[in-house]
Structure 1
Amino acid sequence: MSYLTYEHLRVIWWLLLGVLLIGFAVTDGFDLGTGILLPFVAKTDGERRVVLNTVGPVWEGNQVWLILGGGAIFAAWPLVYAVAFSGFYLAMLLVLCALILRPAGFKYRSKLEAPRWRETWDWLLFVGGLVPALIFGVAVGNALLGAPFTFDDSLRMTYHGTLFGLLTPFALLCGLVSVAMLTMHGGAWLAVKTEGRIAARARTATLYAALVLIVLFALAGLWVSHLDGYQIVGTLAHDAASNPLGKTVTRKAGQWLANYRAQPWTILAPLLGFGGAALAILASRAHLAIGAFLASSLSVVGVVATAGLSLFPFLLPSSTDPSASLTVWDASSSQTTLLIMLIATLIFVPIILAYTSFIYAVLRGKVTEKKVEADHFSY
């Protein structure tokens, strides 16, 4: 693989990071959406156990994509990892606490038959789905706005923001886009895996969440068109050693749309976001559960890809010192590190995909109350 230059490896790892984040959004996304919908699509205890058992056997495997994404940032983009995991520490701790509620809820909800005990865990599982979905979207919003960090001459980072400083109107709008997107995806999943009244409510939830997603995604796009984006001034060497202080960056209104003007094919990403949501609505109205889920998955891919393509080549801009912004060209690990990691990825990701496909094949079919009651290992 000696023909892979440093520039090629950086672009490949940018693409791989996008694939990992999309994989997380598509797979673990319907887990989070299912948690959000749990108190609303399932009214009785039996119905709620059915909902839990649609994701209980697979959520841990789906979370592998989040771990892979975090690992890829740590190894391939260490400066991004340092800034994000230090500056956004409290936000990430909040996400972690919410995610911890999920395994606890799955394991302990049905240990006691007391209605108050089970209802409490149902709402905690709702929180465990809502909070990560919201914060992940807020994080994307702050990436587009820029994070308040600087580097000194020795590349020591200083973060100048606070937890509440992340909750700007635009960032919260992006958070709501994420919540609507994953709620749609969770509803589409439940329509595939359940039947009867649960499936009917899930179809309705998918339809309305997709409508909300279309409206909010359009509002976010309109806002971005007037938002100050970041632009590298001059030529930045794509194969030089990483040093984020070796460039000049300016801010310009509407700059995040530059990639769509320069590369017209990139418009396919937002079109996929809108089109997938619209198809999910049509499929839900026609009771085509699998079609709605596939359309929802395409919408998730489109929305996440839109954010990544808008930012390129930036990974995390700096609102305090734009020239310290982290880009694909100056925030990566060494060429040798990227090459070794690529080889490992080409070996192990297909194994993960094969195993995941096998699990879903084994667990195919509807989840019913009768099956849940007959299975002593159900949630």
Structure 2
Amino acid sequence: MKTCGIITEYNPFHQGHIYHIKKTKEITQCDCLIAIVSNHFTQRGLPSLMSMEDKTRLALETGCNLVIELPPCYAAQSANYFAKYAIESLNELHIDQICFGSETNNIQELKRLSKEMDQIEKDSSLSMNQNLYNRKSIRPNDILGIQYIKQCEKYQIVPISISRNDTFKSATQTRKDYFNGLSQFNDKYFLENQTWQHYYSYLRKYLILTDTHVLSTFFLVNEGIEYRLKENAKKYIDWENFLSASVSKTYTRARIQRTCMFILLQITKEQMQANSSFNQVIVCGFDSVGQAFLKGKNVITKFKELPIFLQNIELKCQYLCSDTFKARKVIYYDR
């Protein structure tokens, strides 16, 4: 069975994602299309505007055969680690190829840029993305594409790109328009409280009440940022003002959001070091093709099968979202 993986966020699921799924199937002619999807929080550290259940159902309806999960501790990472964790999980299924959207849409050019970037002397006062942007005019999907290609080379997975179609409204613009009160595609699935403003009251109190020594133990809390976050929490009762005051040359908006997520979920550096690989396959849904493909494979379908580390994160995320725990349910989509 010829397989292809796609690495996705669906924050939210929009018409560009429909294009990505259909174009991937057309180009690769794969028998089984597998989507790994971030849950609860996304790569930039944003709360996910849609539930994993709705993301899974929409992906299956559109043409995916199997949907698996990228938990927030692995999703809310810089491009290199985001790619690492997603492809580690996909590799457990021994996929043949991945397909991703790209502004350049040229695998050989992305490989060349990857080698060139490795040779550039990095400015330690800047984030990785800022180093890339300052040296080369590389757009976001190509930055991810470069990291996907690096990871694919480790596992002999074939990377394939499709041209990013800018005629579709981006997820960023969709979120912005939705929160400005404009009707959006599929907005019946959107969770209006999935914003940092909604979570900030919890985060703010925790930052104020917690000793900086304790804050420094959480993942991504480095270089004394805990002092800045604590002081800004005291000063600002609004998330956007807090975020703007916390951004610096080293800490981008995305990095602050990720850092705050790890603090909010109380995930420590020690825990991440002990769980520095993601070699699990967490199944969220499948159709008959995906079900047949999974036969005999070692996968997780129930909450109790998750490692304790991921069980704790899942519980915290669910209580944050709804104050209740909802048992994991694998969706079967009957075509």
TM-score, shorter chain, exceeding 0.5: no
Please identify the structure whose Cα radius of gyration is greater. Answer: 1
TM-score scaled by length of structure 1: 0.29
- Between structures 1 and 2, the one with greater helix share: 1
Which structure carries more strand by proportion?
Answer: 2
